[in-house]
Amino acid sequence: MARVQVLVQLSDDLVAALDRMRVREGRSRSEVIREAIERHLAEDREAELDRLIAEGYRRTPPEDVWGDEAEAAARMIAAEPW
């Protein structure tokens, strides 16, 4: 996969924390930053899906969306011997 170099400005404290982590884990700065960005984007996608699912549960269909089929299904279910 082709990669693009991106310039990102970080505070001295953030670079120091990044370097401590990368040394401890035996990885490069780029690898740690890339993984952090991937994780952040995955969490954002998951939060958006959660939002869409919750929005779907809050919506209600128009009352006549099923029409006669709903009444027929209700009669069939009511007739079951459970």
Farthest CA pair distance, the chain: 72
Residue 80 confidence (pLDDT): 87
Q: Is residue 66 scored above 70 in pLDDT?
A: no
pLDDT digit string (tens) for 14-50? 999 999 999 999 999 999 999 999 999 999 999 999 9
Angle, CA 10 vertex, CA 28 and CA 13 arms, to 5° = 85
Q: What is the mean pLDDT of the chain?
A: 90
Residue 6 lies in a domain: no
Rounded to whole angstroms, the Cα distance separating 42 from 38 reads: 6
Looking at residue 25, its pLDDT comes to 97
Asked if residue 79 belongs to a domain, the reply is: no
Give the chain's domain count: 1
* Enclosing domain of residue 49: 12-61
pTM value?
0.64
